[in-house]
Amino acid sequence: MAEIDARLREDVHQLGELLGDTIKVQHGAAFLDKIERIRKGAKASRRGSTEGAEQLSATLNQLADDELLPVARAFNQFLNLANIAEQYHRVRRRAPGEAQPFEDSILAELLQRLASHGHKGEALARQFGRLDIELVLTAHPTEVARRTLIQKYDAMAEQLAAGDHSDLSTAEREQVKQRLQRLIAEAWHTEEIRRSRPSPVDEAKWGFAVIEHSLWHAIPNVLRKADQVLHSATGLHLPLDAAPIRFASWMGGDRDGNPNVTASVTREVLLLARWMAADLYLRDIDQLAAELSMQQASPALLARVGESAEPYRSLLKQLRERLRATRSWAQAALHEDLPPPAAVLQNNRELFEPLQCCYQSLHDCGMGVIADGPLLDCLRRAATFGLFLGRLDVRQDASRHAAAMSEITDYLGLGRYTEWDEETRLAFLQKELDNRRPLLPGHFKPSGETEEVLATCREVARAPAASLGSYVISMAGAASDVLAVQLLLKEAGLQRPMRVVPLFETLADLDNAGPVIRQLLALHGYRARLHGPQEVMIGYSDSAKDAGTTAAAWAQYRAQETLVQVCSEQDVELLLFHGRGGTVGRGGGPAHAAILSQPPGSVAGRFRTTEQGEMIRFKFGLPDIAEQNLNLYLAAVLEATLLPPPSPEPAWRELMDKLASDGVKAYRAVVREHPQFVDYFRQATPEQELGRLPLGSRPAKRREGGVESLRAIPWIFAWTQTRLMLPAWLGWEAALNNALQRGEGELLGQMRAGWPFFRTRIDMLEMVLTKADESIASLYDERLVEPSLQPLGVHLRGLLSQAVAAVLGLTGQSQLLAHSPETLESISVRNTYLDPLHLLQAELLARARQRDNQADSPLEQALLVSVAGIAAGLRNTG
């Protein structure tokens, strides 16, 4: 097995020692010895030692109630420290002659490859400048780390960087160590877990903090380096206003199943975004005004400021006053409904043009070296983030719109909309969309739920166009779902185009996506209201929960193919919006590989995807890490656009149809049809406890009921905590084994070698199976599941073994991830700290269920800490 890099091991060891020192100061040497016995027992147990397993179990069983929380905290904190060390290791300083990270060189290598395939420099530069990648930041019901701790973790990473210099003096090294010791002590003495659920506004502020502390710094660096690479390859530069990557958000706009997101919340979040954007630009402008003291200026700049000894400062001071006015108004408008004064910036050109004028003047006057410094960075930010940081999407379930329409048609004496067939609905909606008169009289008094739908539409209508992204319709299934929203927005006074986006989530809806969009595009008047690309959202979470990942992945692929074909026939641009999560069960996995595995033609210079809470922190929480991940997105979307993957062979399609059919049958036979499944799920996993924990602003369930009522995230999160990982692999074991028994192993090998879609699915399956652990899952069963249900657990673990055997048979390896020994070693090291947390969590769950524990008790706190620690150790949990 490969050794972890010595420098990473050294950092992990140092952080662990400092944590041990902190624990020893508070709890004494005897307690620290107990932690060490647990760690050594877990390590020996993992190596097959019966004695080690017994020591581990005995030490944990003998813990007193008041020791449960500090033991859980110790292992939780170590896993978080290991994450910090691993994250920093990815972006650490490289010695002379040492290979640079793959992410840093990927763009240059891609441009060379594209040139070798015959793409001319001018066309390459044009396509690069036109890239339209939008990362949509979403809140996460399983993100448990508090913002204050995240900030301390970031500060620790900064200290690791400060110590990563060979020429530091002894005193300087000691100073770095002392700072690390202090930060680790601060983290140890800070509660890891919030006591109450975050509000939607809290979640939005968390998203703004990621922009402020990381993305704000990363974007100019990414674009500066991309421009240098592009110029080296083509002799051309990125346009000043190019924004190949932008950001949007669902935090404060996603009301699907979340009664806490109201129209007033959406308004507040929009205003907070304007306040934060103005404040961030003011910091930039203050720096620029201090630096741009030059006197020589172009006639264009002098014409804007008149006679001035310091013309750049004069223009920047005008902009600064407008930014101050914008910030002051946004602050005041949070408390009362105030119209914006004339000085408030309303259009991004009002921000961009003064900066552009300064930039052009400096270049015209031979001071390009000054122009290409912080001023260029500010221009890049203005192009990327605009006046609103990112665009806010609105999302609501199709049934809420239908209920509102039904109340309206009932009031108008037309019958109940929900009882009409699709043809009747479309006829009514088209007629009213074409009608110039209002649909409703002013004295109409709707119910509370309908009023909330209408109030949301009014907020959409009054907000500046650039502050909003798309209106996403969850559980969309028909053309009328889109027209109903368009009519409600028209009724609210919206007089500009807005993308209304159907989200196809279940297996049946994915199969029906192409016909629905074909019908929409054929409707009279619809194309006139489109104004831009037809956006369609593909749901990964609910389709996988509905049918398993085998059938869901193939349905998602086929839906995209059909949508590409339909829009091509209709001569309409298509923008696919991917609702991916952090896990395999929710479409997760490495973004670069995922993008390159999409159907040919589906990534045509445009790509929109969700980035979910905890993965936002892992991928974008630190500026250097964010740069690497943004580089991957740029390279993958450019490659998928100009070098799309081949279409699958007919034989591959035929076999994939069989795999999907076998997969969905096997998945549903367990999840839907096994009479004991729901009871087993609730006993074997912390699903019920997760619903009580203060994890996010959104309820864990859409409604009362069984598995079908659960949201996709807690459904997957619960199985991940026990390491069975069931949603990510169930169905694949039957699909692959049936194919191998039919003698189709050679064809599976061809698919894996020649079809990026299939290869990526198998790679992600292999990763999740490596993290799955039968022995850990069985421990939960032994402690928590009544004897009559335990045979089902044995059966499921048997299916897991079959899945592992099938993947090994397909890949020809003797061990999962044998081709990636570094990853295997990383997982192995983490298991030493994860195993005690799993054992402790099973014990905590048993005790909590016996005592009907209160939410703020030490026992419940320890349980929450174990949840957070396992999440940190496995990285992609929800």
The predicted pLDDT at position 860 comes to 82
Residues 6+ apart with CB under 8 A from 408: 417, 439, 440, 444, 446, 450
Domain that holds residue 300: 263-385
Do the domain assignments include residue 82?
Answer: no
Is residue 109 a part of any domain in this protein?
no
Total-model pTM: 0.92
Report the distance separating Cα 839 and Cα 835, nearest Å.
6
- For residue 707, pLDDT over 80 is answered with no
Which one of 565, 582, 612 terminates a domain?
612
Quick check: 192 pLDDT over 80?
no
- Mean pLDDT over residues 501-523, rounded? 96
CATH number at residue 347: 1.20.1440.90
Average pLDDT over residues 207-212: 92
Confidence of residue 2 (pLDDT cuts 50, 70, 90): very low
Residue reference for tokens 């940081």: 389
Residue 555, pLDDT > 70, answer yes
Task: Note the pLDDT tens digit of each residue in 579-597.
Answer: 875 443 343 457 788 888 8
Among the residue ranges 615-619, 625-629, 675-679, the one predicted with the least confidence is: 615-619
For the stretch 506-524, what's the b/e string if a residue is b when 16 or more beta carbons lie within 10 angstroms of its beta carbon? bbebbebbbebbbbbbebe
| Residue among 723, 581, 740, 592 at smallest CA distance from 658 | 740
Q: Is the dihedral of CA 733, 739, 741, 744 positive or negative?
A: negative
Domain count, the chain: 3
In a domain, 376, yes or no: yes
Cβ(530)–Cβ(572) below 8 Å? yes
DSSP lists the bridge partners of residue 535 as: 575
> At 91, is the secondary structure helix, strand, or coil?
helix
Secondary-structure percent of the chain, ordered helix, strand, coil, rounded to 5: 65, 5, 25
CB burial of residue 648 (10 Å; 0-12, 13-18, 19+): buried
Same domain, yes or no, for 710 and 737? yes
pLDDT at 696: 61
- 400 and 547 housed in the same domain: yes
Distance of CA 641 to the CA centre of its chain: 22
- Pull the structure tokens for residue 517: 């969009």
- Domain boundary among the residues 385, 405, 423 is at 385
Number of C-beta neighbours around residue 558 at 10 A: 19
How many degrees, rounded to 5, is the angle at CA 445 between CA 440 and CA 450? Answer: 85
For residue 154, pLDDT over 90 is answered with no
Same structural domain, 683 and 814: yes
Average pLDDT taken over every residue of the chain: 90
Helices (H) and strands (E) counted in the chain, each on its own, are 39, 8
Non-local CB neighbours of 714 within 8 Å, separated by 6+ positions: 141, 142, 687, 690, 691, 700, 878
Asked whether residue 515 is assigned to any structural domain, the reply reads yes
Q: In the listed set 325, 357, 385, which residue is the last one of a domain according to the structure? A: 385
Q: Are residues 425 and 565 in the same domain?
A: yes
Bridge partner list, 575: 535
Taking a C-beta distance cutoff of 8 angstroms, is the pair 473, 404 a contact?
no
Q: What span, in angstroms and rounded, lies between the C-alpha atoms of 418 and 401? A: 10
Residue 229 inside a domain? The answer is: no
Nearest alpha-carbon partner for 803 in 832, 776, 771: 771
| Contact criterion met (CB below 8 Å) for 325 and 343 | yes
User: What pLDDT is recorded for position 656?
Assistant: 98
Residue 699 has pLDDT above 80, yes or no: no
More confident of the two residues 790 and 58:
790
- For 379-437, what is each residue's pLDDT tens digit? 999 999 999 999 999 999 999 999 999 999 999 999 999 999 999 999 999 999 999 99
Q: Considering the chain, what percentage of its residues have pLDDT values greater than 70?
A: 94
**Assigned domain for 703 exists:** yes
* Phi, psi (rounded to 5 degrees) for 471: -105, 110
With bands split at pLDDT 50, 70 and 90, how would you rate the model's confidence at 693?
low
Strands 245-249 and 574-579: unpaired
Pick from 647, 788, 803, 779: nearest CA to 722: 779
Inside any domain, residue 574: yes
- 434-473 pLDDT per residue, tens: 999 999 998 899 999 999 999 999 999 999 999 999 999 9
Mean pLDDT of 544-548: 88
Domain containing residue 407: CATH number: 3.20.20
Grade residue 709 by pLDDT with cuts at 50, 70 and 90. Answer: low
Are 377 and 416 contained in the same domain?
Answer: no
Q: How many CB atoms lie within 10 A of CB 462?
A: 13
Residue 493: per-residue pLDDT? 95
CA distances from 712 to 515, 545, 716, 727 (A): 26, 6, 6, 10
**Are 443 and 358 in the same domain?**
no
Name which of 366-375, 378-387, 650-659, 707-716 the model is least confident about. Answer: 707-716
> Is the same domain home to 657 and 591?
no
Pairing of strands 574-579, 391-397: unpaired
The pLDDT-based confidence of 62 (bands split at 50, 70, 90) is: confident
Mean pLDDT of 716-722: 90
Is the CB of residue 137 less than 8 Å from the CB of residue 390? yes
* Main-chain dihedrals φ then ψ at residue 687, nearest 5 degrees: -55, -45
pLDDT at residue number 877: 42
Using one digit for the tens of pLDDT, what is the confidence trace for 235-260?
999 999 999 999 999 999 999 888 99
Q: Indicate the pLDDT class of residue 851, thresholds 50, 70 and 90.
A: confident
C-alpha span between 314 and 129 (Å, rounded): 32
**CA–CA separation, 462 and 781 (whole Å):** 54
Q: 116-125, 206-215, 544-553, 820-829 — which is least confidently predicted?
A: 820-829
pLDDT band for 168, please (50, 70, 90 cuts).
confident
State whether 344 and 286 are in the same domain. Answer: yes
- According to the model, what pLDDT value does residue 801 have? 97
Residues 6+ apart with CB under 8 A from 564: 574, 599, 601, 602
pLDDT reported for residue 685 = 94
- Whole-angstrom CA distances from 751 to 130, 480, 811 are 33, 39, 12
Same-domain pairing of 371 and 419: no
Domain-located, residue 172: no
Give bridge partners of residue 118 from the DSSP assignment: none
Catalytic residues: 140, 545
Residue 701 and residue 608 in one domain: no
Residue 144 token pair: 């448990």
User: Quick one: 676 and 808 in the same domain?
Assistant: yes
Question: Residue 702 above 80 pLDDT?
Answer: no
For Cα atoms 826, 831, 836, give the angle at the middle one, nearest 5 degrees.
Answer: 155
**Beta-sheet pairing, 132-138 with 391-397:** unpaired
- Higher pLDDT: 43 or 118? It is 118
Residues 378 and 458 in one domain: no
